[in-house]
Amino acid sequence: MSGMARNKDVIALLPDLRRYAQTLTRNTADAEDLLSSALLRAHEHRHTYQPSRSLRRWLFAIIHNLFVSQRRTRLAEQRRDGALADLVPSGAPATQEMSALLAQVMRRFDTLPDNQRAVLHLIAVEGMSYQEAAETLAVPIGTIMSRLSRARRVLRGESPVDRSHAELRVVGKVHHD
């Protein structure tokens, strides 16, 4: 693919990339900074792009990896924990039941760990398959399924890990002496 064609492909992906950066950072200004840095990194490392690989997943992976790196080095500087919860009204009149439910889901989404929020966004918002998300985040597909399951459980208002009712059962042959 020529450089000009690839540039048009990247421009077409900007809304998706911007939305993913917004999901990771939870802040519009920080999302724009992350996206700009990721595009610069992609340009600087364009020689590593393999045309047989999905350009979309390659760019999503760059955004994800850059976010993780920045998060590790600037964890103390993070000031946006709870920013979304502060913006969402805490209550709504009974006639706005759906708005209240949506606000509750948004608050729960904001409390998800970064890795679960990223998986949920890639699959639910970007429409990636489990396999595509696994390749984008460089984790096994089982990890994707597990993170997605935990994220959905939190969004439904269930406890993140509730195994109090779990039962053990024997599978296979049982020998009695």
pLDDT at 79: 47
pLDDT at 155: 85
Instruction: Please indicate whether residue 173 or residue 123 has the higher confidence score (pLDDT).
Output: 123
CATH of the domain at 49: 1.10.1740.10
Both 1 and 67 in one domain: the answer is yes
Domain count for the chain: 2
Is residue 166 one of the residues assigned to a domain? no
pTM of the model: 0.56
Give residue-wise pLDDT tens across range 37-71.
999 999 999 999 888 889 999 999 999 999 999 88
CATH of the domain at 149: 1.10.10.10
Residue 71 structural domain:
1-77
pLDDT band at 136 (very low <50, low <70, confident <90, very high): very high
Both 63 and 119 in one domain: the answer is no
Give residue-wise pLDDT tens across range 88-132.
556 545 456 777 888 888 888 888 899 999 998 898 888 889 999
Both 98 and 71 in one domain: the answer is no
Amino acid identity, residue 35? L
